[in-house]
């Protein structure tokens, strides 16, 4: 019964945040509203090593003006491994396969915007996380490098001079992500609220992410994470990325 109540509280909190936020930002030009959902599994091999996998599905607003919200914008599958070097330091690395929707993109070869298209992306990442305790609070600094490559996408932009569809060329991008997170981690509590700020650096400042959420521990193996995130875009070559208000919910099973 307690576990059912915890699940109900997590879902109620998600709805309480999502619905008012959706109403507040509906129809405002330049703002986007997103709903991110994920499910993951983690296996602890020994005291130092663990492996995991995750599936994520994203919906977003304003895919097409006047169409409302709820259009799919991305789904991805990720696999990774984590190694605990010290009690306060861990390393992790992984691979992510993504299918991503781009509304517009600048085609350098044709000097014009592309049509909307779905593209495949491959991402590699590696990071380290240093964690410090301060009473009942936990402070974590994560530094991550990621490389994302999107292969060429055929038949995207119509070339009127050649009277045919032209592809969008493949491209790769290196990004360094720095995240500082503070969480309330008191022993024997089944919830862990947290807040974080993360900066993305490529050729310059790409974007900032500000997140506030809470992880609910539903027993020894199950947990649910509910969060609100504001994403502030500074520089991006994908026109489909705008400043965004995001509500997310994720489930994880550990064994």
- State mean pLDDT over 157-167: 69
- State mean pLDDT over 218-232: 92
Q: What is the pLDDT of residue 131?
A: 97
**Domain count within the chain:** 1
Question: Which residue range forms the structural domain that includes residue 43?
Answer: 2-254
What's the mean pLDDT when you consider all of the chain?
A: 84
CATH (domain of 246): 2.40.128.130
- Which tokens sit at 161? 């001079």
More confident residue, 233 or 20: 233
Q: How far apart are CA 98 and CA 116, in angstroms?
A: 17
Q: Confidence class of residue 139 from pLDDT cuts 50, 70 and 90?
A: very high
pLDDT one-digit tens code per residue, 41-78: 999 999 999 999 999 999 987 555 445 556 788 999 99
Q: What is the pLDDT of residue 28?
A: 46
- Beta partners for 168? 153
Query: For residue 4, which phi and psi values (nearest 5 degrees)?
Result: -65, -40
Helices (H), the chain: 2-25
Q: How far apart are CA 222 and CA 213, in angstroms?
A: 17
**Cβ neighbours of residue 47 closer than 8 Å, sequence gap 6 or more:** 84
């Amino acid at each position: 019964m307690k576990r059912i109540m915890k699940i109900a509280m997590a879902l109620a909190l998600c709805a309480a945040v999502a619905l008012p936020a959706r109403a507040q930002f509906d129809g405002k030009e330049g703002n986007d509203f997103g709903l991110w959902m994920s499910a993951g599994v983690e296996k602890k091999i020994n005291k130092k090593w663990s492996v995991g996998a995750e599936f994520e599905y994203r919906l977003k607003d304003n895919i097409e003006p006047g169409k409302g919200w709820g259009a799919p914008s991305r789904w991805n599958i990720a696999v990774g491994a984590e190694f605990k070097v010290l009690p306060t330091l861990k390393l992790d690395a992984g691979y992510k396969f993504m299918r991503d929707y781009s509304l517009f993109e600048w085609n350098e070869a044709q000097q014009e915007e592309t049509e909307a298209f779905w593209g495949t992306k491959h991402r590699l990442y590696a990071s380290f996380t240093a964690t410090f305790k301060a009473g009942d609070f936990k402070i974590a600094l994560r530094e991550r490098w990621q490389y994302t490559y999107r292969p060429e996408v055929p038949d995207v932009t119509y070339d009127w001079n050649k009277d045919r569809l032209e592809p969008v060329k493949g491209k790769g991008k290196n990004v360094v992500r720095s995240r500082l997170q503070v969480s309330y981690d008191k022993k024997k509590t089944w919830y862990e609220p947290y807040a974080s700020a993360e900066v993305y650096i490529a050729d310059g400042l790409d974007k900032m992410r500000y997140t506030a959420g809470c992880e609910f521990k539903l027993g020894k193996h199950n947990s649910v994470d509910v969060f609100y995130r504001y994403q502030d875009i500074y520089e991006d070559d994908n026109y489909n990325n705008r400043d965004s208000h995001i509500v997310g919910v994720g489930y994880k099973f550990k064994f």
